[in-house]
Amino acid sequence: MSFNLDLLLAGTYHDWLIQGLRLSLGMAGITLLLALPLAVMVAMFRLSPVRALQWLGAMFVESIRNVPLLAHMLFWYFGAPELLPDGIKRWLYAGNIEVLSAIAALTLYTAAYMAEDIRSGIRSISNGQFEAGRSLGFSFLATMRLIILPQALRVTIPPLVSQTLNLWKNTSIATVIGVGELMYQAAKVESTAFRSAEAFAFATICYLSVSLILTGLGLLYRHRFPVRTA
């Protein structure tokens, strides 16, 4: 069997793969939108002067980061929804519970990593700046918002881009809970048509090109907004 390019350009298998690509991109996009604010919140918790909040933030990061994503996926699909009351459960299961569970797992997982990147970015700004802000009468949040975060952003964006890259590739794990994303559709083409080379070549090119675009954006940002050194 030789490599059949036409298979990838039109027809049922093409449609399946494009459908998978769309869902993968959609999941990555929604997850990013949900994970970023969550990550900022967790980072703030860890940096806040309140002990209980610090502890809560640390618990979140460590409990999520130290368990493989695969286990998160299986838990959010087979485990967690079973604890819900019957009515809500039935309503959820009638919809697309596969994608919802995957987004829940991806959001928490990505947020835990991003929170650490944000926290280290903030910590890279000298403490003197924070103290100066506070002594001029700015509140904790105002100091953060007006003085620390704008500077920290330049340090934080590059690692966040790389976390987004991981998120994009991590969407493929959702295949184990029956989400029809790119890897799932590639496997479907493989088992239906025995066209493994074509299907996985398509998936590889998709993952690679989206990843390269993200890397390019990261480089562009670093070039345009270099980290300011004091």
Partner 1 sequence: MSRTRFICIMILFATFFTPLTYADQLADIKKKGEIIVGVLGTDEPNSFIDPATRKIVGYDVDLSEAIAKKLGVKLTLKQLSVAARIPELEQGRIDLLAASLTHNKEREAKIDFSLTTLVTGQRVMVRKDSGITSVPQLAGKKVLTVKGGTQEPNIRKAVPTADVITFETSLQAFIGLQQGKGMGYVNDEVSLFNNYGKLGDAQKDYIILPQNLSIEPLALGIRKGEAGLKKEVDDALRVLEKSGEAEKLFFKWYGPNSKVKLDKRTFKIDSDKVDG
91 binds partner 1 (CB under 8 A): no
By CB under 8 A, is residue 225 in contact with partner 1? no
- Check residue 78 for interaction with partner 1 (CB under 8 A): yes
Rounded to an integer, what distance in angstroms lies between the CA atom of residue 174 and that of residue 70? 8
What Å distances lie between residue 52 and 44, 49, 55, 62, 63, CA to CA? 12, 9, 5, 15, 16
Amino acid at 113: Y
3: contact with partner 1 by CB under 8 A: no
b/e sequence 114-150, b meaning 16+ C-beta within 10 Å: bbbbbbebbeebeeeebeebeeeebeeeebbeebbbe
**Residues in 94-123 that interact with partner 1 by CB under 8 A:** 97-98
190 binds partner 1 (CB under 8 A): yes
Q: Tell me the one-letter amino acid at 194.
A: F
Q: How far is the CB of 67 from partner 1 (least distance, A)?
A: 19
Among 191, 204, 209, 215, binds partner 1 (CB under 8 A): 191
Site membership for partner 1, residue 2 (CB under 8 A)? no
Does residue 89 interact with partner 1 by CB under 8 A? yes
- The correct pick among 177, 182, 189, 203 for binding partner 1 (CB under 8 A) is 177
